[in-house]
Amino acid sequence: MSVSPPLRTMTVWCPDWPVMAALEELRPDAPVAVLENNVVLACSPAARVDGVRRGMRRRDAQARCPELVLAPSRPDADARAFDAVLEAVEELSPGVAPLRPGLCALRVPTRFYGGEAEAAAVIAERIVSLGVWDVRLGVADGLFAAEQAARRAAPQDVVVVPTGGSGDFLADLPVEVLDDPELVSLLRRLGLSSLGAFARLPQSDVHTRFGTHGALLHRLASGGDPHPISRRQPPPELVAALALEPPLSLVEPIAFSLRTTAERFVADLAGHGLVCTAVRIEADVDGVVSSSRRWAHPRWFGTADLVDRVRWQLTAQPAHGPVEAVRLVPEVVEPLGDHADALFGPGADEQVERGVARVQSLVGHDGVVAPSVQGGRGPASRRALVTWGERADGVRPAARPWPGQVPAPAPATVYREPFPALVVGAEDQVVGVDGRGGISCPPARFRAQQGDPWQRVAAWAGPWPVDEQWWDEAAARRVARFQVVGVDGSAWLMVVENGQWWTEARYD
Amino acid sequence: MSVTSLDPVRSELLAELQQKVERIQSGPTAEPVATHPALSGLLQLRAGGVYGVDAASAALLLAAGPSLAGAWCGIVGVQDLGVEAAQTYGLQLERTIVVPEPRERWLEVVAALADVVDLVLVRPPGPVRQGEAARLAARLRKRGAVLVAWGEWPRCDARLTVAGTRWEGLEQGHGRLKARRVRLEVRRGAAPPRERELWLPAADLAVRPVEAEQVRRVEAVPDPVRVVS
């Protein structure tokens, strides 16, 4: 009886993944740091040269590298960007388990590529072709050792830990790689600075002293891996096909014969707990696809819906000859559970999410936003529009006091870009505001935007000076706001900055 | 073949009949939809209806009614949305979907949203063709969604316009905008317009009708002064 070889794990690591997304909009050699909770989460090579490190406070990072570009952390966007890498790896080898943006694991496809290093080279080449030049791979028995191996690999290279050699490989590493600050600090104080030293402790003693969690980390340190990687299930074969013998040219008989196929299609999906919300219908003539079209359904396809779609498609784009085969290819399938709610209640939110997904397919992911009110002084800065489905990062709390904010009621129209306005006194001289908050003359007439007719001022108030972020040269703003009502009853919020009037909002 | 031109009375009659037919055809689906309490007795939204408005505050007020009652709202093509004002009028932002720039695909976006939300507020970027409007109206009736069209729209069930505005609280050089009285007019086909005075909003930021004893007509506004220099 032969012992089956242990399953080997490969990890693919793209270092500083959060920075990659941020760098796309800047020069590749720009110093960039991605911040989370005011602490550097990741930084670009240029920033690292200047001494910026992961875990550093923002102020320290800026002190080392004054021209550092700071970007907020956007985990959702990172994960979305990493999908391209996952798909590329999945093309080469099935069963990829994403661990976090920038890191994924898979079983090593040794036999097909003729070796572990060869397989790694193929995968690295594929990822580099996506434009991700810094990719590192590691191969080991377990996930933990494989990740550590990838971290010690050169760019576009692989470190292979031989079978059974995980313990030896890990022994020299510092205890910090365990990523548990509390335990690491304790081990350091106990004089255990390497994983090897930690691994040499008897397992029962570790369990007594550090509990289950400590015992788990002890097993990691000694090269045993408790986590088998969980693979994504390949989707089941759900395409339903109907072969027509002899081929038919009339639409009605085709639709009639298709009924049982459509029933089987819906039943197969239901057997997997799925429903189909988008389907591609293909019809073959003389062995080639002559008619193909994608159909989406606001809820999901039933048998009658599918037969209708086939009938519509074949009527709208008639085949060139007798149809030999019709195929129903599910393009989007969703769990039945998401839709089952609708039987008992409105099930609104799930449906809304689906509707939004459809709108996003029309106008792009960033085209749909969720509105909210955030803290700020001007009406435009109090408006927060967050891309639908993303977490609202960087939204300022509205409940705090914001001294100098424009008093309620809020304007119903807040212009995205303020446009130049003109406010003049009785002698047609532009109204100015001096440094002490005085005005040069009372406003008499105004023009809210170029091209508008001049209007007499019926009532006005101001200036309300705002001196924002004087400590930051780039963001500092000294403005004075006015409320102006014209004789036609229209009310405006205007702002003076450096002698120039702008219309910010309209109370309409 | 000659076409006899219709005299105005007959064409008006025709329009009225057309509306009646439409109302009967849309019969069972035209269930009442929750409307903002300040508008009760003036305008009742109905499922599948199209309502025209001419100002941001009127549009947001119409959207606020269903939103307050727990419905989802979609806002399409409004880049300059005053989010805070919308909240003041009662729009529930957590149940609001905004598509600020749908560009030329705005009609598809409205149709897609109408499938899943109860009210869509749209500001069309250009003139709307009769055919497009009719197709969309059919879809709205089927789905039981309400459309609030901000701007020109062919054939609305009703049109809500802000006929007069007066701000209170602002003086010459002091005070601040505190409350606003507006005169809202609802036009429904050829019927005479109905109107009501509303605090939009009142000094305590509530939206409510002006009490009977306080009703003084907001004076007709003069034309903006044109200065020739």
Tokens of A24: 């796309």
Three-state SS sequence of A424-448: ECCCCCECCECCCCCECCCCCEEEC
Residue A337: band (very low, low, confident or very high) from pLDDT cuts 50, 70, 90: low
Gap between the Cα atoms of A148 and A146, Å rounded? 5
Statement to judge: residues A32 and A107 lie in one domain: yes
Q: Which residues touch A206 (CB under 8 Å, ≥6 apart)?
A: A214, A215, A218
Statement to judge: residues A128 and A171 lie in one domain: no
Of the candidates B88, B165, B229, the beta carbon closest to that of A489 is on: B165
Statement to judge: residues B144 and B101 lie in one domain: yes
Indicate whether B43 belongs to any domain. Answer: yes
Statement to judge: residues B200 and B169 lie in one domain: yes
Of the candidates A409, A415, A455, the beta carbon closest to that of B201 is on: A409
Gap between the Cα atoms of B26 and B8, Å rounded? 27
Answer yes or no: are the C-beta atoms of A486 and A456 closer than 8 Å. Answer: yes
Tell which of B62, B177, B205 to mutate to test the A interface (max A CBs under 10 Å): B177
Three-state SS sequence of A234-275: CCCCCCEEEEEEEEECCHHHHHHHHHHHHHHHHHHHHHCCEE
**B182: how many CB neighbours lie within 10 A of its CB?**
23
Statement to judge: residues A31 and A124 lie in one domain: yes
For chain B, positions 132-161, list CB contacts with chain A under 8 A: none
Statement to judge: residues B44 and B138 lie in one domain: yes
| pLDDT of A391 | 64
Indicate whether A392 belongs to any domain. Answer: yes
Indicate whether B223 belongs to any domain. Answer: no
Q: Which residues touch A226 (CB under 8 Å, ≥6 apart)?
A: A216, A219, A220
Q: Which residues of A touch B222 (CB under 8 A)?
A: 487-488
Q: Do A355 and B116 touch (CB under 8 A)?
A: yes
Q: Which residues touch A224 (CB under 8 Å, ≥6 apart)?
A: A142, A166
Statement to judge: residues A59 and A111 lie in one domain: yes
Q: Do B98 and A354 touch (CB under 8 A)?
A: no
| pLDDT of A414 | 93
Residue A457: band (very low, low, confident or very high) from pLDDT cuts 50, 70, 90: very high
Q: How many CB pairs under 8 A join A and B?
A: 178
Indicate whether A16 belongs to any domain. Answer: yes
Statement to judge: residues A72 and A143 lie in one domain: yes
> Smallest CA–CA separation between A474 and chain B, in Å?
26
DSSP string, A124-138: HHHHHTTT----EEE
Statement to judge: residues B49 and B114 lie in one domain: yes
What letter would DSSP give residue A451? T
Taking phi first (over 0 means left), then psi (-120 to 50 degrees means alpha), and beta for anything else, what does residue A470 get?
alpha
Of the candidates A371, A408, A454, the beta carbon closest to that of B226 is on: A454
Domain count for chain B: 2
Calculate helix-pair angle for B106-114, B130-143, nearest 10 degrees: 20
Indicate whether B220 belongs to any domain. Answer: no
| pLDDT of B63 | 94
Q: Do B55 and A508 touch (CB under 8 A)?
A: yes
Of the candidates B88, B97, B177, the beta carbon closest to that of A388 is on: B97
Statement to judge: residues A263 and A141 lie in one domain: no
| pLDDT of B6 | 55
Residue A481 has pLDDT above 50, yes or no: yes
Statement to judge: residues A371 and A450 lie in one domain: no
Statement to judge: residues B137 and B198 lie in one domain: no
Statement to judge: residues B174 and B129 lie in one domain: no
For A140-150, the pLDDT digits (tens) are 888 888 888 99
Q: Which residues touch B205 (CB under 8 Å, ≥6 apart)?
A: A408, A409, B88
- The last residue of one of the domains, among B136, B158, B180, is B158
- The last residue of one of the domains, among A144, A160, A176, is A160
Statement to judge: residues A108 and A211 lie in one domain: no
- The last residue of one of the domains, among B118, B137, B158, is B158
Residue A231: band (very low, low, confident or very high) from pLDDT cuts 50, 70, 90: very low
Statement to judge: residues B135 and B184 lie in one domain: no
Poorest-pLDDT segment among A75-79, A192-196, A448-452? A75-79
What's the domain range around B166? 159-214
Statement to judge: residues A155 and A177 lie in one domain: no
| pLDDT of B25 | 63
- The last residue of one of the domains, among A339, A372, A387, is A339
More confident residue, A260 or A469: A260
Gap between the Cα atoms of A226 and A218, Å rounded? 11
Indicate whether A496 belongs to any domain. Answer: yes
Indicate whether B12 belongs to any domain. Answer: no
Residue A449 has pLDDT above 70, yes or no: yes
Of the candidates A368, A459, A460, the beta carbon closest to that of B97 is on: A368
Statement to judge: residues B120 and B79 lie in one domain: yes
Tell me the sheet residues that pair with A9.
Answer: A107, A140
Poorest-pLDDT segment among A315-329, A367-381, A412-426? A315-329
Interface contact B55, partner A, CB < 8 A: yes
| pLDDT of A347 | 45
Indicate whether A78 belongs to any domain. Answer: yes
More confident residue, B53 or A212: B53
Indicate whether A429 belongs to any domain. Answer: yes
Statement to judge: residues B81 and B121 lie in one domain: yes
Interface contact B111, partner A, CB < 8 A: no
Indicate whether B21 belongs to any domain. Answer: no
Residue A233 has pLDDT above 50, yes or no: no
Q: Which residue of B has its CA nearest to A461?
A: B173
More confident residue, A13 or A357: A13
What's the domain range around A443? 413-507
Indicate whether A231 belongs to any domain. Answer: no
- Looking at residue A61, which CATH number applies to its domain? 3.40.1170.60
Statement to judge: residues A122 and A172 lie in one domain: no
Range A319-326 average pLDDT: 85
Answer yes or no: are the C-beta atoms of B154 and B52 closer than 8 Å. Answer: no
Statement to judge: residues B87 and B188 lie in one domain: no
Q: How far is CA A96 from the centre of its chain?
A: 19
Indicate whether A353 belongs to any domain. Answer: no
| pLDDT of B113 | 93
Reported ipTM = 0.80
| pLDDT of A114 | 83
Indicate whether A369 belongs to any domain. Answer: yes
Statement to judge: residues A146 and A182 lie in one domain: no
Statement to judge: residues A123 and A255 lie in one domain: no
Indicate whether B184 belongs to any domain. Answer: yes
Gap between the Cα atoms of A249 and A105, Å rounded? 51
> Smallest CA–CA separation between B114 and chain A, in Å?
9
Residue A227 has pLDDT above 90, yes or no: no
Q: Do A507 and B180 touch (CB under 8 A)?
A: yes
Indicate whether B60 belongs to any domain. Answer: yes
Domain count for chain A: 5
| pLDDT of A338 | 56
Range A160-175 average pLDDT: 87
Q: Which of A129, A120, A113, A167 lies closest to A12, judged by CA?
A: A120
For A376-395, the pLDDT digits (tens) are 888 888 999 888 876 666 78
- Looking at residue B36, which CATH number applies to its domain? 3.40.50.300
What's the mean per-residue pLDDT of chain A? 83
- The last residue of one of the domains, among A351, A373, A405, is A405
Report the side by side order of strands in the sheet with A383-387: A383-387, A369-373, B96-99, B73-76, B119-122, B146-150, B50-53, B158-170, B175-187, B194-199, B208-209
Statement to judge: residues B110 and B167 lie in one domain: no
Interface contact B103, partner A, CB < 8 A: yes
For A388-446, the pLDDT digits (tens) are 876 666 788 888 888 888 888 899 999 999 989 999 998 889 999 888 888 899 999 99
More confident residue, A220 or B45: B45
Q: Mean pLDDT, 10 residues at a time, over chain B (229 residues)?
A: 60 80 61 89 90 93 92 93 92 92 91 92 92 91 91 90 90 90 90 89 88 53 50
Q: Which residue of A has its CA nearest to B110?
A: A359
Statement to judge: residues B104 and B114 lie in one domain: yes
| pLDDT of A115 | 85
- The last residue of one of the domains, among B158, B177, B202, is B158
Gap between the Cα atoms of A493 and A423, Å rounded? 12
| pLDDT of A215 | 83
